[in-house]
Amino acid sequence: MTSPAEQLSLIPLEEPAHQPSADTVRLLLFNAQHASPDRSRRQAAWVAGQEDADIAVFTEVSSTHGGDALVAALAEHGYATVIAPRPQTPDYRAVIACRTTDAHPVASPVTVTPHRAPAAQVTIGGHDVGVLGLYVPSRGPKEHRNIAKRAFQDAVTASLPELHEAFPDMPVIVAGDLNVVEPGHQPPHKVFGAWEYAFYDSFKAADLTDAFRHLHPDKSAHSWYGRTGTGFRFDHLFVSTGHVAQVLACDYHQEAREAGLTDHAVMTLCLALPVPEGKQGEVSAAHSY
C-alpha cells in the first residue's frame, strides 16, 4: 500500500513555468541517472521548463540525498503533487510529479520492490487518467546476474492485467525504463534472452500498446547508448489499447542527454481527452504536433 508519507503535496515556492493543459495529457519521461543533489536540482529546473511535462515520470532516482533534492526542487518549480515512494533498503526508485493538485497515489499493483513502480490517478479537465511508473533493475553484478531484474519483471507482468481494474473506464499510461528492447530491435542485441522479449510482449497481452511504435511503426529510435555508441530503445510509453487512437504525439528527445543532464533520451507523450460540449472552440493550439 502507498502510505501518506509517500505523497508529498507541497505548496509551490514559485509560479510554475507552464500551466497544466485541460484537454490533453502531457507526460514526460526522464531518467535521473542517480544524480547528485546539484544535478537533481538542474534536472528539475529543466523538466519544469518543458511545456509537455504536466506529468513527469522519473526513473533511476536515488533513495538518498540526490532523490530528496529532486523531490524538493520539483515542488519549488510548481509541481503541486510529487509521489516519491521510499524503499526500505537503499535502492533506486521511480517518482511521479504532477503540476495539478488533483492527483493522488494509488497502491502499486507490483508486489516486488513497489518503490520502482509508483501509481497515480490524475484528473485533467474533469477526466481521470491512470499512470504507472516503472524502473526495471539492470542485469546486476555477475554473482547476482538477472535475479532482481527477472523477479521485478515477473511481478510487473503479473500485475499488468490489474491496471484496467485499478483504473476502470479511463486511459492508462505506463511509463518507464524497462531495460529491455523490443523484438526486432535495430541494431539487434544478442545479450537479451527470450524471457526479456517476453516481458516486452506482456504489455500487449495486457491490452497496452507501445505508443511510439503505434505512431512510428518503421522508425528506428534509441534512448540509451553504450560505450561503443550502440543504441538501445530502453525507455517506453504504453497506453491502454482502447485509448491509443487518442495519442497525438510520442517521441524521443536527445537535448537533455546531449547537455549532460542524463544519459538517456527524454520521452514525451501527448494524449487527447474529450472536450466538453460548448468548449470545442477553446481546444489548445498545442494539438498541432
pLDDT digits (tens, 9 = 90+) for 182-201: 787 676 667 667 878 899 99
Residues 205-213 have a mean pLDDT of: 97
Element (H, E) at 69: helix 65-76
Given a contact cutoff of 8 angstroms between Cβ atoms, the answer to whether 99 and 80 are in contact is yes
Using the predicted structure, report yes or no on whether residue 6 has a pLDDT greater than 70. Answer: no
pLDDT for the residue numbered 180: 86
Predicted confidence band at 5 (pLDDT cuts at 50, 70, 90)?
A: very low
For the chain, give every domain's residue range: 4-275
Percent of the chain with pLDDT over 90: 72
pLDDT value, residue 16:
76
User: pLDDT tens digits for 236-270?
Assistant: 999 999 999 999 999 999 999 999 999 999 999 99
pLDDT category, 91, cuts 50, 70, 90? very high
Q: Are 187 and 230 in contact (CB under 8 A)?
A: yes
β-bridge mates for residue 251, sequence order: 268
pLDDT at residue 49 greater than cutoff 70: yes
E strands, 148-246, are 172-177, 208-210, 224-225, 231-232, 235-240
Q: Give me the pLDDT at residue 144, please.
A: 65
**Residue the block writes with cell 535495430:** 186
| DSSP tag of 169 | T
- Answer for the pair 108, 68: CB distance below 8 angstroms, yes or no: no
The per-residue pLDDT for range 12-23, each reduced to its tens digit, is 456 778 999 999
User: Which segments of 93-146 does DSSP mark as H helices, in order?
Assistant: none
For 21, counting Cβ atoms within 10 Å of its Cβ (0-12 exposed, 13-18 middle, 19+ buried), the class is buried
With a cut of 90, say whether residue 9 has pLDDT above it: no
| Residue with the larger pLDDT of the pair 216 and 222 | 216
CA distance linking residue 195 with residue 265, whole number of Å: 25
**Measured distance CA(85)–CA(236) in Å, rounded:** 21
Candidates 169, 250, 268, 153; CA nearest to 209 is: 250
List pLDDT tens digits, range 109-126.
Answer: 999 999 999 999 999 999
Residues 63, 87: contact at Cβ < 8 Å?
Answer: yes
CA distance 15 to 18: 9
Quote the pLDDT of residue 224: 84
CA–CA separation, 228 and 259 (whole Å):
19
Q: In what order do the strands lie in the sheet containing 7-9?
A: 7-9, 81-83, 93-98, 55-61, 24-31, 266-272, 247-253
What's the pTM? 0.90
pLDDT at 2: 44
pLDDT digits (tens, 9 = 90+) for 148-186: 999 999 999 999 999 999 999 999 999 999 988 778 767
Q: How far apart are CA 163 and CA 174, in angstroms?
A: 10
CA angle 179, 108, 166 (to 5 degrees): 115
Q: What is the mean pLDDT of residues 122-134?
A: 97
Kindly report the CATH number that applies to the domain delimited by 4-275: 3.60.10.10
